[in-house]
Amino acid sequence: MPFGGGNKCGCCQKTVYFAEEVQCEGKSWHKSCFLCMVCKKNLDSTTVAVHVDEIYCKSCYGKKYGPKGYGFGGGAGTLSMDTGEGLGIKPEEQAPHRPTSNPNASKFAQKQGGSDVCPRCGKTVYAAEKVVGGGNSWHKGCFRCAKCGKGLESTTLADRDGEIFCKGCYAKNFGPKGFGFGQGAGALAHSQ
């Protein structure tokens, strides 16, 4: 403790007296200075996340320093268009959707030295990023409809000739055609 009162605050660098002191990672803070560096929410021992000399709430810390990419959403049932630019994060450009270019749809013909190969991009699929569907192993990012690019799950896919489709595109392209097989209630379609 330096001469003249108490320790210096990790935020404002002023003296912190015992009655207003909050300690974190061996540093002292005023209760009023113990705020997230990004959103300015009040923090406590259960909500603080420290990075070097900066303190964050767990949400802002996760956005700034946590894992990025497919499968790391904001929580159950949430959709977010936040790219993190406000936190100094540069958004990644997503690769354009490409249908499978592999002429041989057999999963046994796609083995390379015992490891699975994604039929969409032709690269090795490792266990951490593997999704199985349509009899093949896919990267999570490649597990999309060949027509519209919509992300798929094992319950929402239909496969044909080694390619995977969402149920809507599969029905439009390979389903029955003619009278009575319209797109919606009461619709009639004339197939040419």
Q: Give the pLDDT of residue 186.
A: 52
Tell which residue, 78, 38, 76, 72, has the closest CA to residue 57. 38
List, for residues 129-179, the tens digit of each pLDDT value. Answer: 888 887 788 888 888 888 888 888 877 888 888 888 888 888 888 877 665
**Contact call for residues 24 and 36 (beta carbons, < 8 A):** no
DSSP string for residues in 145-156: -TTT--B--TTS
List, for residues 35-45, the tens digit of each pLDDT value. Answer: 998 898 888 88
Assess whether pLDDT exceeds 80 at residue 16. Answer: yes
Between 116 and 72, the more confident residue is 116
List, for residues 80-113, the tens digit of each pLDDT value. Answer: 556 666 666 666 665 666 666 555 555 444 444 4
Name the one residue in this structure whose structure tokens are 């700034």. 64
